[in-house]
Amino acid sequence: MKKLPILLAISLIFSNLERSNNKYNIMITESKVTDIFCIADDFCKEFEVEMSKNALSSSADATKRRRKRMMSDAEVITILICFHFNTYRNFKHYYLSCVCGQWKHLFPRRFSYNRFVEIMPRCFVALQSSSVLPASGNAGNQLC
C-alpha cells in the first residue's frame, strides 16, 4: 500500500472544514488529534530508522544517555501541527490553555511550557522532512 506524505494526509483530515467570511472555523476534535498523532508516530518511526542508517558511528569511549523522554517526538509534532491548524495566535496561550487544559488526558506526560519550547528545535528536522519527503520514500510524490 502506498503511503501519503504526512502533511497531505493531515490536510485530508481537515478537508471538510467549514469556511465563512474567508476564515476557517476550526474545531480540532480529540479524534483528529489522535489521527494526527498516528500519522506523525508512523512517520517518526520510519524517520528514526532512516536516520540511524545514515548516522555517523560514535566512539566506543563515549558515554551514551539512553533515558526515555517523557514525550515522544510524535507527540511534540502533533502539538505543533494542531497549533498551526488552530485559531490561536500565541503559542504559549495555546499550549497552556488547550494542551495543558483541554487535552491534558491526551498528553498525560506533557512538559512544562518552558521545557516544551526547549525541546521543539529537536523535532524541526523531522517536521521539515515530513513536509517535503513522502513517507514511502518515492521522490516522485514530493509535496511542495
Count of structural domains within the chain: 1
Model pLDDT for residues 88-142, shown as the tens digit of each residue: 889 999 999 999 998 989 998 889 999 999 988 888 877 777 665 554 444 333 3
Alpha helices for the chain (secondary structure H): 6-13, 30-54, 73-84, 91-93, 113-132
> How remote is the C-alpha of 131 from its chain's centroid?
11
Model pLDDT for residues 14-41, shown as the tens digit of each residue: 555 444 444 444 568 888 899 989 988 9
- Domain assignment present for residue 125? The answer is yes
For residue 119, what are the domain limits? 73-133
- Domain assignment present for residue 80? The answer is yes
**pTM of the full structure:** 0.71
Q: Give the CA angle between residues 114, 117, 122 to the nearest 5°.
A: 135
- Domain assignment present for residue 84? The answer is yes
